[in-house]
């Protein structure tokens, strides 16, 4: 596993240095992980969701490749991927909500599925708004949720990405979940 991590970091650095062949080598290495993240994000969506994991991965990959970001390492790449996946899902949910439901808001019940991934089209919108409110109060807590839940990073990887200890990740995750729980419950009443 560490060889794969080192390989991703090396390829990202080579690509950042101008080696276009490194990008071609990078895709097969990160594709499976991106696909797992996309499937995880979509797992809690409604059964008739129109966006599929493969389409989500392809859209995310295009955005990641075309982003004006110099990826430092594997953790940084997947942190940006987490934000990208979240943004695509939110944009898709907003468009679907606007087009098919006339823009009417639906009540969202909080449950643990929201901590792992969106529950419904409007659920991801409500979760995104709650995460934005959390970011206004405490950006790091919002980033922890994003990296763990959308990015699929481990506690150690999240800690490394944010330059904090895994114990701090655990402690702040508890507070972030409590904040989101309160926001989503109050938002649905």
**Separation between Cα atoms, residue 149 and residue 152, nearest integer Å:** 6
Buried residues in 26-41 as b, exposed as e (16+ CB within 10 A): beeebeebbbebbebb
By mean pLDDT, which of 20-24, 41-45, 72-76 is the weakest? 41-45
pLDDT at 139 over 90: yes
Q: Determine what percent of the chain is predicted with pLDDT higher than 70.
A: 80
What is the per-residue pLDDT across 70-106, written as a single tens digit (0 to 9) for each? 888 888 888 888 888 888 888 887 877 654 544 444 4
Phi and psi at residue 17, in whole multiples of 5°?
-85, 0
- At residue 46, the pLDDT reads 62
Our separate counts of H helices and E strands in the chain read: 9, 0
More confident residue, 48 or 74: 74
């Amino acid at each position: 596993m560490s060889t794969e991590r080192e390989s991703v970091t090396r390829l990202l650095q080579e690509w950042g240095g101008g080696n276009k062949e490194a990008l071609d080598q990078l895709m097969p290495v990160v594709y499976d992980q991106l696909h797992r993240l996309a499937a995880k994000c979509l797992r809690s969506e409604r059964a008739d969701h129109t966006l599929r994991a493969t389409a989500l991965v392809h859209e995310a990959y295009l955005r990641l490749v075309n982003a004006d970001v110099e990826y430092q390492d594997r953790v940084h790449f997947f942190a940006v991927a987490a934000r990208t996946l979240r943004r695509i899902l939110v944009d898709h949910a907003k468009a679907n909500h606007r087009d098919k439901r006339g823009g009417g808001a639906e009540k969202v019940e909080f449950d643990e599925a929201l901590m792992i991934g969106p529950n419904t089209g409007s659920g991801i919108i409500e979760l995104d708004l709650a995460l934005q409110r959390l970011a206004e109060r405490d950006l790091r807590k919002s980033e922890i949720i994003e990296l763990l839940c959308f990015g699929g990073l481990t506690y150690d990887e999240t800690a490394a990405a944010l330059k904090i200890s895994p114990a701090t990740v655990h402690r702040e995750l508890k507070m972030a979940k409590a904040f989101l729980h309160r926001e989503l419950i109050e938002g649905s009443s």
